Amino acid sequence: MISDYPQRKNTRLKTYDYSQPGYYFITLCTRDRAPLLGSIVEGVVCLSALGKMVREQTELLPGRYDRLLRDKYVIMPNHIHMILRIAERLNPLPTGAAAKEKHIDIPNVIGKWKAGITRQSGGHSIWQETYYDRVIRSEAEYLRIWNYIDTNPVKWAEDVYFA
């Protein structure tokens, strides 16, 4: 059956393995960019109850996966930016242990994170279907993104996601 709705474009890099160690810049927007997560008052983020729940789930992310680290994030009224890192495995897994290790790749991590927030918020998804990701390829790019996240609340009125 062909839908009347436009087909969403897959924004993931077709040949990139999102489970490999590296740094990833992620942006997720609320459905219709509704300011559900809080407000900005004089350059400071004031989280709503839902925003606090998103913060809690974001803080818990690294504990759910052995090699996942959360370097930086900011929750804005209608979106969240974060830098996630998949770390190198320091020691090889013993035989048979690979099957028991949680599969870690960015789409899987984000999907489970969104699903957890949906469950906790009463079963209604607050997120747009897709999200933006960028594989961070250099230290200069990392620092530029870190600064963007850090200064995002102060520059809210200039933000492309400002509603």
The C-alpha atoms of residue 57 and residue 3 are separated, in whole angstroms, by 34
Contact assessment for residue 86 and residue 93, using Cβ atoms and an 8 Å cutoff: no
**Encoded tokens for 32:** 């219709």
The C-alpha atoms of residue 50 and residue 38 are separated, in whole angstroms, by 8
pLDDT of 11 reads 58
**Residue-by-residue DSSP string for 79-92:** EEEEEEEEPPPSSP
CATH topology of domain 22-88+102-154: Alpha-Beta Plaits (3.30.70)
Return the closest-CA partner of residue 72 out of 89, 59, 57, 56: 59
**Encoded tokens for 123:** 């079963």
Domain boundaries, the chain: 22-88+102-154
Q: Digits of tens for pLDDT over the chain (163 positions)?
A: 455 544 445 555 567 889 899 999 999 999 999 999 999 999 999 999 999 999 999 999 998 988 999 999 999 999 999 999 999 877 666 565 554 556 789 999 999 999 999 999 998 899 999 999 999 999 999 999 999 999 999 988 887 766 5
